[in-house]
Structure 1
Amino acid sequence: MASKDILVLGAGMVGVCTALALRQRGHAVVLVDRQAPGRETSYGNAGIIQREAVQPYAFPREWMAVLRVITRQGNDVHYHPAALASLMPALARYWRESAPDRYAATVAAYSALIRHCLTEHERLIALAGAQDLVRRSGWLQAYRSAAPFDQAARTAMEVARHHGLDCRILDQAGLRATEPAYCGPVAGAIHWRDPWTIVDPGELVSRYAALFSKEGGIFSRGDAATLKQTEGGWTVQTEDGPVEAAEAVIALGPWATTLTRPFGYRFPLFVKRGYHRHYAAEPMPSMPLLDVENGFMLAPMQRGLRLTTGAEFAHHDATPTPIQLQNAERHARVLVRLGAAVEDTPWLGARPCVADMRPIVGRAPRHRSLWFNFGHGHQGFTLGPVTARLLAELMDGEQPFVDARPYDPIRFGA
């Protein structure tokens, strides 16, 4: 296998892991981002390596659920009316791909990646010396009302049996015994025990990036939008001057559309924005809890108890509207002793989503030396090392460890 010069654009979890996987295979790799590694989307999530997330978030198929979103009756989804026209083509395909027969195929493809997330992260965590960031007690999927809890518990047990997962069903007393810090009125919770939680997601990405540098990789601050094709491959402008390489990987998450469109690609990509804020909770819970009916998650972090919101459909650069966070804070104070906010201003980020709920991983159909690794939706943090390995094997012409066809960019046409 001959060594290649490779540019990797994007230093979130996916991009850092991609650069690291390629460097560990002996390639000369330059990782480029405008910010330090792990400072964007990979910083702002709930910090869970979700081994149980075998079913990606589907578009609701029941019209009552859709009507609830349209009329803004819940807190899990918010939208900007001005953004709907531009989002509608991708959302229409998202709805179509969520039909039962299509969704079943997506679950099969998605779970094939998810089942490897712990083992792939475990190897990197050991090499990066990041064990201090990891908690292995799982997380809680909680319900305020009995009927939704009973239905969710039955579904969870079916999913666990089918996919070989470990979960416990906790009634109110069981939840309080397992996690006394959550003391509000809850009917019960599903305790997903396989996942690992990270007390500082951005720091984990930084540790992986430090490992990349230790192993001879180069990180350079630069603007991915300056990427240009040359006779010998690709070039991008950085603070250290132009960097050239024979091949390039776009791993830009929510910014992938900005870079792929000028090269002629029209993927059904959209973003779901989300907010978080830290609070000085006392006592601090030991594991995350998702309040399903009120659309937020509480995740214990080094900076405090992180309150994260559901999905906001809006233009990526639209003015922040943290309505969901305000509502979530009100509901959270009934559930836990939340304390004062740590930051003056909430954090806002975006999740990179594809209408068929599968990441885009593989060679660009029109450019043989250009590769894609983006569109992981809610699970870029979970799947970063997994799709990085997959892409590295494809770039080296090896038989990939999972069937790569469900994620191939060619599925959207040349």
Structure 2
Amino acid sequence: MNTDQSDVIVVGAGALGASTALHLVKAGVENVVLVDKDGPGSGTSKAGAGFVGPLAAGWDAGWGRSELDVEYFSIDFYSDLATRHDIDFRHSGHLYIARDADAWKHVAKFHDTDTVPDSQLVEPDEIRAVTKGFLDGSSFHRAVFQPSAVQLSAGKAARAIAAEFATLGGRVESRRPVTGLIKIGNAVTGVETEHGPLYADKVVVAGGSWSNTILGGDYFLPQVPLVLSRMITEPLNVPANFPALNFAGYSDDGSGLLWVREDCGRLNWGMSYPDYPRDDLVDNPIPDRFDDIRLDGIFQVRRASQSLTHLMPGLATDKFWVAHGAPCLTPDRRALIGPIDERPGLYVVGGCNGVGIQHGPGWGKVAAEIVTGATPFVDARPWNANRFGGLYSTNRDVFLALSARSGPMTHV
């Protein structure tokens, strides 16, 4: 057999691509190749917050049952994955906390018992109990607790998914940057890489921020990369049994959610920010890696977290490291999954909208079902990759559409 010919090539070994490849082999596709310029989980997935829960209850007003279904699928998927791999998994829930009455409007929407039956309202004097004694709630307004949610290490999870794929017979090609598509007419028949061509009956591009570079200029995927950052302290012996915490009312304009969670005895926290370098990739080329991104936005994250240091002294440390990622947002904040009409043989999984780890397992299953001709397990029509037609042709077009839809984008 020609090892450069396969049934399906999946480009990008982050949470979305690795999950798509895994579900393809689970669906019976025998020859699947997962290609990445570095290795599994080395891009935006590495910087993921690691929250998985019923975000569709309040994260974005445009989301619906489809997003909620993949979120619950992801909880079950990661629960099972954790029985075979160390992904720092724990089933400790998510707690959304409002600083004051103005911030409550950003938190109250997460309490929707029609979509999240186990959602609980938490009064200030109950926050200490819910956080297993970690957090004094006396200075807060109110909170919402979602006990069904889980947390994990995003990078470890992406690598574990790729390992599962390899165990089932999939082929992982790391450190093999894809430089473009191979086409016969309009039909896509493989990919060019820095180490030679790879051919396939079908190609799935799940390259995140690099997807449009891979697609080459003759097709534009309507998504725009925005830089996000997180901070991780040195080990502080932080207990691991409290929920992931999301605080509303601490960003400069009051609308962003500052999240804090335990990470192997450390504190791991972040939030989106309107400062540079959030928009740096809208008009500039995508770098090979995110290591060299400037730290301007981190100062806003730091300002927000300083308001909580009296409750979590570890946030005041000057000893921390930073991880950057660039999740891609679509004009309607929903995913892009499926075939590209103008390019037979080409499929995409994109538009993570900042929730690739949360939705990746379910989106990967949907993508595999579409590629193999099966009926998706959830209603995938809202994610049709062709739904915008040719309305958007540049990152700037998508960015302006997002700005008009939601005002200043202070959260992703």
CA positional deviation for 1:363: 0.3
Whole-Å Cα distance in 2 between the matches of residues 327 and 357 of structure 1? Answer: 27
Q: Cα distance, 1:311 vs. partner?
A: 4.2
Matched, 1:297 2:299: no
Distance 1:344 1:336 in 2: 15
| CA distance 1:142–1:282, shift in 2 (3 Å) | farther
Partner residue, 1:314: 279
Separation in 1, partners of 2:92, 2:347? 36
Structure 1 position 329, deviation (Å): 3.2
Which residue in the other structure is 1:130 paired with?
Answer: 85
What's 1:208 paired with? 161
2:121 matched residue in structure 1: 169
Aligned to 1:394: 370
- Do the aligned partners of residues 266 and 393 (structure 1) sit closer, same or farther apart at CA in structure 2, a change above 3 Å counting? closer
Name the counterpart of 1:284: 239
Q: Encode CA deviations 1:339-384: one digit per residue, 9 max, x unaligned.
A: 6658654222111111111100000111110001110212110111
Aligned to 2:16: 14
| Alpha-carbon distance, 1:42 to partner | 1.2
Query: What code does the residue aligned with 2:177 have?
Result: D
Matches for 1:3-402 after TM superposition, within 5 Å: 5-27=7-29, 28-57=31-60, 103=62, 106-126=63-83, 129-130=84-85, 133-146=88-101, 148-149=103-104, 151=105, 155-157=109-111, 159=112, 161-179=113-131, 180-183=133-136, 185-198=139-152, 200-220=153-173, 221-230=175-184, 233-239=189-195, 241-260=196-215, 262-265=217-220, 267=222, 269-279=223-233, 280-281=235-236, 283-284=238-239, 286-294=242-250, 295-302=257-264, 304-312=266-274, 313-316=278-281, 319-321=294-296, 322-338=298-314, 341=317, 345-402=321-378
Aligned residues: 358
Distance 1:357 1:348, change over 3 A: same
Identity, % of aligned positions? 23
Structure 1 residue matching 2:354: 3-state secondary structure: helix
What amino acid maps onto 1:272 in structure 2?
Answer: L
- Would the alpha carbon gap of residues 343 and 115 (structure 1) be closer, same or farther in structure 2, given more than 3 Å must change? same
1:130-161 alpha-carbon deviations (Å, 9 max, x no partner): 36622112011112214543x5665443x2x2
Do 2:14 and 2:42's aligned partners in 1 also have CA atoms closer than 8 Å? yes
Give the 3-state SS of the residue equivalent to 2:249 in structure 1: helix
Calculate the aligned-residue CA RMSD, in Å. Answer: 2.6
Q: 1:123 to 1:282 in 2, by over 3 A?
A: closer
Equivalent pair of 1:247/1:369 in contact (CA under 8 Å): yes
| SS state at 1:300 partner | strand
* 1:188-233 deviation digits (Å, cap 9, x = unpaired): 32111111111x2211111111111111111112112333325881
- Distance in 2, Cα, partners of 1:113 & 1:372: 18
Aligned-partner residue type, residue 350 of structure 2: F
The aligned amino acid for 2:36 is: D
Deviations 1:285-313 (A, max 9, x none): 62211111114110111261101122444
C-alpha distance in 1, partners of 2:265/2:9? Answer: 33
> Higher relative CO (CA 8 A, sep ≥ 6), structure 1 or 2?
1
TM-score by length of 1: 0.78
CA distance in structure 2 between the aligned counterparts of 1:19 and 1:7, rounded to whole angstroms: 8
Q: In structure 2, give the amino acid aligned to 1:287.
A: P
C-alpha spacing 1:143/1:154, structure 2 compared with 1 (3 Å): closer
Indicate conservation of the 8 Å contact 1:143/1:189, yes or no. Answer: yes
Instruction: Say if 1:167 and 1:216 are closer, same or farther in 2 by CA, change over 3 A.
Output: same
Distance 2:237 2:315 in 1: 7
Structure 1 stretches lacking a partner, 5+ long:
59-102
Q: Distance in 2 between matches of 1:341 and 1:243?
A: 48
Residue deviations 1:172-198 (CA, integer Å, cap 9, x gap): 221012222223732332111111111
Q: Tell me whether 133-142 or 395-404 shows the greater mean CA deviation.
A: 395-404
Give 1:68's aligned residue.
none
Q: Deviations over 1:91-143 (max 9, x none)?
A: xxxxxxxxxxxx3xx434433433433234344444xx036622112011112
The residue type equivalent to 1:195 in the other structure is A
Cα distance in structure 2, aligned partners of 1:9 and 1:314: 25
Where is the helix percentage greater, Structure 1 or Structure 2? 1
- State how far apart, in whole Å, the 2-side matches of 1:371 and 1:320 are: 35
Describe the superposition over 1:20-42 as per-residue Cα deviations: whole angstroms up to 9, x where unpaired. 11122232111111122112211
Alpha carbons of structure 1 residues 353 and 261: separation in structure 2 relative to 1, 3 Å: farther
Amino acid at match of 1:167: S
Checking the alignment, whether the CA contact within 8 Å between 2:66 and 2:380 is kept in structure 1 is no
- Counterpart amino acid of residue 405 in structure 1: R
Give the aligned residue type for 1:18.
Answer: T
Tell me, yes or no, if the aligned pair for 2:267 and 2:315 is still in contact at 8 Å. Answer: no
Q: Which residue of 2 aligns with 1:74?
A: none
Whether the 8 Å contact between 2:232 and 2:321 is mirrored in structure 1 is no
Take 2:159 and 2:116, find their aligned partners in 1: how far apart are those partners?
32
Residue type at the aligned position of 1:190: V
